[in-house]
Structure 1
Amino acid sequence: MTYDVKKYIRTDLEGFAGYSACKAPELVKTSNRIIKLDANENLYGAAPAVRQAMSAFDQYHIYPDATQFEIRRLLAEYTGVNMEQIICGAGSDQLIDLLLRLFINPGDEVINCPPTFAMYKFYTDLNRGTVVNVPRDADYNVNISGIKNALTPKTKLIFIAVPNNPTGTAISKEDIIQILDLGVPTVVDEAYYEFTGQTMISNMAKYPNLMILRTFSKWAGLAGLRVGYGLFPPVIADYLSRIKDPYSVNIAADTAVRQTMLQREYMLETVKKIVHERKRLYTELSKFSWLKPYPSAANFILCKLIKGKAKDIQQALESEGILVRCFDAPMMENCLRFSVGKPEDTDALLKALGEMGE
């Protein structure tokens, strides 16, 4: 007997493309040192206390705290938000998924501002929502009037990345408040908060439709452990605590986050180094006649190629052991994104680009 398992699969997933992640360094064929500038990680790595705690840890056979109590207590101290309003997850990606599960019925609309973080669309599609795109302008600024015009009775969520990924574009608090004043549940994704210092936390009491996401992947050097958290109105936090996986933060990640928060001043010093290096990288990239770098408030810089093909440059850099991200989506045709690493990483990148532009 022949079994057709596919007939049992959701038909709406027939054309679901999935997410194109960065290439694993071990798959790169090169004799050179790998310089990973493709995923916006903190190349200084985790805090020394994290490494020490992980090497001494021996409780991997025990389930982690399902409530993430100690992490949330430390985060309450860090953010000034009551710990009852803090929800932790396996990266902010999981929290995006949970929010869509909470708010979206099939056909409900989610306003997205492309080009932006791909997971907003990914999870909206996966949860049978309808993505309503309000494209950014030529400089990648959010179209506020476009968002207002896109609202319908089916609009359930608005996603705004602050600053935006993959463009690095900032958005003012005043513009975010204009969006919040629309009354629709709005997710302000502050994944790069530590690099900007800009947050909407002080507005949470006034706006019960405001939800804030953050992560330990970018500033804290914990991308491989997948830990994120969100700050929510009490009623939303209550619902999310009910529907989320109880052990979503594994015990290794739990340990690492605790140590990071206890040694956060050390990690924030590495953030300052990255911000300083971002300024240098932007200045040097601006000197290449064939590149157009965009101002960035994050830990990466997006560049459009004025001549040449971005894919060719990406592949040439990869052969030298330098991994960067290439984009060719609408409004991001022929673009490269460079994560900001250490000074020696910048030197290697600039040297390679200089040789390619000769």
Structure 2
Amino acid sequence: MKLLRNNVKTSAGYIPGEQPIDPRVIKLNTNENPYPPSPRVLEAIHAVTAEQLRRYPSPSGQAFREAAAQLHNVTPDHILTFNGGDELLSVAIRAAADENDTVAFFEPSYSLYPVLTQIHGARANILSYNIDGTRWSLPANVENADAAIMLIVNPNAPSGHLEPVEKLAAIAASFRGLLVIDEAYVDFAPQSSLDLVRQFPNVLILRTMSKGYSLAGLRFGYAIAQPQLLREIEKVRDSYPVDAIAIAAATAAINDQPYARDTWQKVKAERARMTAELQKLGFTMPESHSNFVLATAPQKSDAKSIYETLKARGILVRWWQLPRIADKVRITIGTPEQNNRLLAELATLV
């Protein structure tokens, strides 16, 4: 009896970051915003009526589309909503790549990319970042990659480094497939690739409400692309991908830009302070434009041991047994109080 496709049976699946049950644990491992969402979000949730729950939601999440379009200075048909950025990635691969087509992505990068590629039955073209000490950059001539779709997370995860928009524009101009620029962390960066949507019909930008808007528990993401591309992508998307509560909450969050931008500034200020303090302890790291830092353990220290000891002391950071990053820990920027506790513990370990 065969119940599952071989690509599913042989896949290791995606391994999410640990989600502790104990509220006393300081959680600096999965890049949530350390500050709560806008108060308008809870107001919007409380205002959802029984009638809204009885009926199916707007298939397009129209209220959110209009709010996001106004923010990004595009028309609403440039916006398409999804049940989180991960669903967008899955839909984009299914829409652009036939089985046995090639999906190009980079390593180290978001570890969901190879999982989605394998489950779909596509082939992976894994391109390696150039890493010179703390300097990360895309390899040369990636625009010539033979692939149906290319995935670039910018700012990068796990490094936090930012590729120039000009480099991404050059890739978009020459690459012959769909170019997905994953901007999950762009709210903490000084620039976005949004203008490339206006220039290139093959560019799709991923945005999420999880990081910058403190809605990781809600699962809400969206695409920005030219309308003719999104009309095709929409054929693959679920019929009602975002529910009435999510639409109301996400719309309230994106409409409260002063609140969101205040949290971004707090995170960026703490990121600068944490970078300086970690360097004093002997850690090295790329310049981060995200809400985390990727810190290489000091000489005579071991990243795995740091991760395990911190966990035993009630602090979670992220560590991977993977080539090129096994000597590093990724640290989400927390509140000043959380960061101070982490620094105090690290000072006893290195």
Counterpart of 1:34?
Answer: 25
Match for 2:7: what amino acid? D
- Which 10-residue stretch deviates more, 119-128 or 165-174? 119-128
* Aligned residue number for residue 34 of structure 2: 43
**Cα drift, residue 341 of structure 1:** 1.0
Percent of aligned positions with the same letter in both sequences? 29
1:225 aligned partner: 218
Q: CA deviation at 1:298?
A: 0.4
How far apart, in 2, do the equivalents of 1:197 and 1:256 lie? 26
Superposed displacement of residue 264, structure 1: 2.1
Task: Provide the rounded CA distance (Å) in 1 between the counterparts of 2:143 and 2:71.
Answer: 34
User: Is the CA contact 2:310–2:316 (under 8 Å) kept in the aligned structure 1?
Assistant: yes
CA offsets 1:97-121 (integer angstroms, 9 cap, x no match):
1111111111111111110111222
Aligned to 2:94: 101
Q: Deviations over 1:266-285 (max 9, x none)?
A: 11111110001000000000
Q: Return the alpha-carbon distance in structure 2 between the equivalents of residues 62 and 42 of structure 1.
A: 32
Which whole-Å CA distance do the structure 1 matches of 2:300 and 2:242 have between them? Answer: 45
Q: Which moved more, 1:84-93 or 1:235-244?
A: 235-244
Displacement of 1:148: 4.0
TM-superposed deviation, 1:294? 2.2
Distance of 1:296 and 1:174 partners within structure 2: 19
Give the SS at the match of 1:163.
Answer: coil
TM-score (norm 2): 0.94
CA contact (8 A) 2:136 2:286 kept: no
User: What is the one-letter code of the residue matched to 1:199?
Assistant: S
Residue aligning to 1:248: 241
Q: C-alpha offsets along residues 169-198 of structure 1, whole Å, 9 cap, x if unaligned? A: 110111111211213221111111211141
**Contact kept in structure 2, 1:188 and 1:210, CA below 8 Å:** yes
* AA at the equivalent of 1:212: I
State the Cα distance separating 1:56 from its structure 2 match. 4.7
Q: 1:317, CA displacement in angstroms?
A: 1.1
CA distance in 2 between partners of 1:124 and 1:330 (Å): 20
Q: Secondary structure at the match of 1:102?
A: helix
Structure 2 gap ranges (5+): none
Contact map agreement 2:307 2:319 (CA 8 A) in 1:
yes
Structure-2 separation of matches of 1:251 and 1:238: 22
Match of 1:304?
296
Residue 55 of structure 1 deviates from its aligned partner by 3.9
Residue of structure 1 aligned with 2:166, choices 174, 181, 199: 174
In structure 2, C-alpha distance between the alignment counterparts of 1:53 and 1:231, rounded to whole Å: 24
Contact kept? 1:304, 1:335, Cα under 8 Å? yes
Residue 17 of structure 2 corresponds to 22
The more displaced of 271-280 and 254-263 is: 254-263
Is the 2:28–2:315 Cα contact (8 Å) retained in structure 1?
yes
Offset of residue 296 of structure 1? 0.5
Could you list the runs of 5+ residues in structure 1 that have no partner in the other structure?
none
316 and 177 in structure 1: CA distance in 2 versus 1, 3 angstrom threshold: same
- For residues 301 and 222 of structure 1, the distance between their equivalents in structure 2, rounded to whole angstroms, comes to 21
Aligned-residue offset at 1:54: 2.5
Bigger drift between 272-281 and 201-210 goes to 201-210
**SS of 1:144 mapped into structure 2:** coil
Give distance in 2, aligned partners of 1:218 and 1:148. 29
| Paired letter, 1:40 | N
Q: Secondary structure at the match of 1:213?
A: strand
Cα 1:19–1:307, aligned 2, differ >3 Å: closer, same or farther?
farther
Residues 43-122 of structure 1: matches in 2 within 5 Å? 43-59=34-50, 60-122=53-115
Counterpart secondary structure, 1:317: helix
What's the RMSD between the two structures over aligned residues? 1.6
CA separation of 1:110/1:46 partners in 2, compared to 1, >3 Å: closer, same or farther? same
Q: Matches of 2:285 and 2:279 in 1, distance apart? A: 6
- 1:61-104, Cα deviation, whole Å (9 max, x unpaired): 44322121110000000111221121110111111111111111
Counterparts of 2:43 and 2:197 in 1: how far apart (Å)? Answer: 37
Q: What CA distance in whole angstroms lies between the structure 2 residues aligned with 1:12 and 1:20? A: 17
Paired residues for 1:146-161 under 5 Å? 147-148=142-143, 151-152=145-146, 155-161=147-153
1:205 aligns with 2:201: no
Whichever residue aligns with residue 43 of structure 1, its letter is P
The residue type equivalent to 1:225 in the other structure is L
CA contact (8 A) 2:149 2:179 kept: yes
What amino acid is aligned across from residue 136 of structure 2 in structure 1? Y
Quote the residue 1:322 is aligned against.
315
Number of equivalences:
343
Asked if residue 214 in structure 1 is aligned to residue 203 in structure 2, the reply is no
Work out the CA distance in 1 between the residues paired with 2:199 and 2:263.
Answer: 34
Residues 1:163 and 2:155 aligned together: yes
Provide the C-alpha distance between the structure 2 equivalents of 1:43 and 1:287, rounded to a whole number of angstroms.
Answer: 24
Distance 2:200 2:159 in 1: 27
**SS of 1:297's equivalent?**
coil
